Amino acid sequence: MANRESLNLNAEKIKELVEVFYQNLLQEQYFKDTFKARGVDLNLLKSRQQSFILALIMDDTEVNANHQQQVQTRHSFNTSPENAHIWIRVMEESMEEISLDETIRTKLLTKMRMLMKTIVRD
Ligand code: HEM
């Protein structure tokens, strides 16, 4: 239920998830290089990713065109299935690392896998 208390709890937990996720993702050479080459502002990215993930949790529609649009716009480059696999694996491991609630975990991973399809070149 998206009441104020659950929102606060989620926000804290998702902040932790995003911190751990990018720390882990940057251990992967491709992501380290890509972020560097694009001059990504990591703090800005983390704060946007945090808002985005919270929006995914709060949203009960299966496919949300706005979310798809946002992911497509910010990933004008295409990526390979291998890199997509690494991103999702690191996300799963980070969720495990912070013991994220199972229901939220499943909901997020389902949506993230769907969103990933919009930026992967087969
Ligand atoms: C291999 C897959 C992916 C790569 C290489 C990648 C890479 C990046 C990069 C480089 C940025 C920074 C963009 C910029 O400011 O220039 C970014 C931003 C972002 N990515 Fe990804 N990403 C991947 C997958 C995903 C997926 C599956 C999602 C969906 C949950 C996602 C959500 C976001 C969000 C929300 C932002 C911030 C958007 C904004 O600034 O408004 N990414 N990503």
Domains in the chain, ordered, with CATH? 4-116 (1.10.490)
Ligand 1: list residues with CB < 6 Å.
34-35, 38, 40, 45, 48-49, 52, 70-71, 74-75, 79, 83-84, 87, 112, 115-116
Euclidean distance between CA atoms 104 and 85, whole angstroms? 20
Cα-based angle 61, 67, 70 (whole degrees, multiple of 5):
175
Q: Each residue's pLDDT tens digit in the chain (122 positions)? A: 556 777 677 899 999 999 999 999 999 999 999 999 999 999 999 999 999 999 999 998 888 999 999 999 999 888 999 999 999 999 999 999 999 999 999 999 999 999 999 899 87
The answer to whether residues 78 and 121 touch, using CB atoms and an 8 Å cutoff, is yes
Closest CA to 114 of 88, 89, 90: 88
Report how far ligand 1's centroid is from the alpha carbon of 40 (Å). Answer: 10
